[in-house]
Chain A
Amino acid sequence: MNSSVIIFPGSNCDRDMDVALKKFGFKNKMVWHDDNKLPKSDLIVLPGGFSYGDYLRCGSIAGKSKIIQSVIDFANSGGLVLGICNGFQILTETGLLKGVLQQNKNIEFICKNIFVKINNNKNKFFENINKDVLELHIAHNEGNYFCTEDELKSLEDNNQIAAYYCNSDGEIDEKSNPNGAIKNIAGIFNEKKNILGMMPHPERMIDQSLSGEDGSIFFENLLKNLK
């Protein structure tokens, strides 16, 4: 399976994502933001980081970069797009995903392990995943997901909420919400479920000795679903 990771000026999880994708068997290519064309890909990843120094709003400048039109075309033709952290912010800024990531409610940069509960596994990203509560890592200043009431209703009605912040038992409660995100939302899909944006970093959880392995479960399963 071929994947591509887009590098923006200020991306800092692009290499981690490259390592993770290759570890689980993807043939990954790195694509510079100033290119016009994407290589043949089964998966496009917008990585975490601080594209363009988070100027104006997180992800807003990257959302207008040269490569983005190709990513939008790829996504609109049904291609699989994954945005992690800053990648999620970029996806909302392009309009591919609804809502916006606001500054964390406590105005602090949060860097810690959290748990998420997978809410919908009828899609390529989570189908057949053998665990529904994953321990992943978050590192962000703007992860407080917000959308209008109408948008929230349509996200819920169309089963577009991908994952909620929860405790280790999978209970979705206020205490497990790290950043003030509306309804504990950690990640969402587009309507067709071929685009996933989420704040937690699975690529940081692929090595037992460094962190944990719940990210491995995500990538292994994703590759299996694409084969």
Chain B
Amino acid sequence: MKVKVIVTLKSGVLDPQGKAIQQTLNGMGFANVKEVRQGKYFDINIDESDEQKAKLSVEEICKKLLANQVIEDFKII
């Protein structure tokens, strides 16, 4: 089955790329854009039919590799 993961920077952690995107958008005329935070998206195909088991595996994968929990949060969606 497929499991989707989003990794984002924790709130309060500086995101210079997101800031640059926000400033560019403002410069393009999207004056209403107040903040952009950039993250990562993973589409994981895991050989598991039990959804609960698959999600537990992916949670471990996130903790051990996909996210650095000093600065990042992950969400399994």
Residues of A within 8 A of B (CB): 56-57, 60, 64, 93, 99-100, 102-107, 144, 146-148, 151, 180
Contact = CB atoms under 8 A, between A and B. Distances in A.
Give the 8 A-B residue pairs with the shortest CB-CB distance, closest first: A107-B16, A100-B70, A100-B71, A103-B16, A100-B68, A57-B68, A107-B20, A105-B16
B65 A102 contact: no
Contact of A60 (B13, B17, B20, B65): B65
Tell me the dominant secondary structure on chain B's binding face.
helix
Interface string B39-77: 000000000000000000000000011101011000000
B14 interface: yes
Contacts of B68: 57, 60, 93, 100
Interface residues of B, number: 11
B14 A105 contact: yes
Given A56-B65, A60-B65, A64-B65, A99 B16 contact: no
A85 to B, nearest CB: 18
Contacts of A60: 65, 68
Given A104-B16, A106-B16, A107-B17, A148 B65 contact: no
